[in-house]
Amino acid sequence: MNKQKITSILEDYGLRPSKKFGQNFLINDEISRKIISSSLLTEGARILEIGPGLGCMTQFLVETGLPVTAVEIDKGYINVLNDMFQTANNFTLIHDDFLRFQPDFTFTHLIANLPYYCASELIFKVADYNPEVITVMLQKEMAERIKAKPGSKSYGLLTVNLTIKYEFHEMFTVGKSNFYPRPDIDSAVIVLKRRENNLIEENLIPLFKQITRSLFWGRRKTIVKCLTSSPHIDAKREDVLKVIEASALESNLRAEDLSLTDFVKLTKEFMRLNLA
């Protein structure tokens, strides 16, 4: 779809882009096609799209012939999508807020242009369902945070909690001129592929998240200070020092210095010493 087509649809249905829902429509079909071709789709894939809006990318997802389920929060766009895909037998539309929604269907791939204001929450929730591939467009700064390496300024909780399950596969930038309305910042598409071998047991992931949240709670503070002062975990200093020593780490390190393996070690030692 181009800008003229989008403004025409909005006018026909009496709609306007919502700032509340962070609606910026992609007006470059080549980018939509590139997103889909980068998504590692395979025979038997089942696609979830969050926030299809006016169907700018949905039209190409449906063309794959694979089953597509779209979840849209804005009632106004439900009418547009129902009319647009009324003859598509591989398309299911759900009117709901995905952050409050409990899917009763399975999906292998997420492909979505996520609203900036809640992109991280949406990705975290999707990751809990363990799809094979997550392909999302979001603000470029957040994409760079997800791919960040230990020791870098962008490395943080988002990076660690996603990469425990997913490997960073690809990223490309999408300039703000490719959207209507035009956003203030550039976007980027990232492709995350689920790891074939788990770095941590599934039953330890809740504890892993609790510990990482505690460690990044006091950015620039030492890991000892974070684990003894964070409101996210209740641990005594002497116990924390035992965990750190058993993990073969230095107590003066900070969370941004730790590798993914280090976070896993800390989690396992907390469990082994019965401190969880």
Where in the chain are all domains bearing CATH 3.40.50.150?
3-194
CA distance 230 to 234: 8
Copy the structure tokens of residue 13. Answer: 């249905």
User: pLDDT tens for residues 83-128?
Assistant: 999 999 999 999 999 999 999 999 999 999 999 889 999 999 999 9
Q: What is the pLDDT of residues 203-234, one digit of tens each?
A: 999 999 999 999 999 878 999 999 999 999 98
Every domain of the chain with CATH number 1.10.8.100 lies at 202-272
Options 1.10.630.10, 3.90.199.10, 1.10.8.100, 3.40.50.1820; CATH for 202-272 is 1.10.8.100
- Which pLDDT does position 276 carry in this prediction? 64
Does domain 3-194 fall under CATH 3.90.1150.10? My reply is: no
Instruction: Please compute the mean of the pLDDT values over residues 22-38 and round it to a whole number.
Output: 95
241, 264 contact by CB (below 8 A):
no
Residue entry with tokens 């096609």:
33
The tens digit of pLDDT for each residue in 147-192 reads: 999 999 899 999 999 999 999 999 999 999 999 999 999 999 999 9
Query: C-alpha distances in angstroms, 165 versus 15, 129, 130, 134, 202?
Result: 39, 11, 8, 11, 10
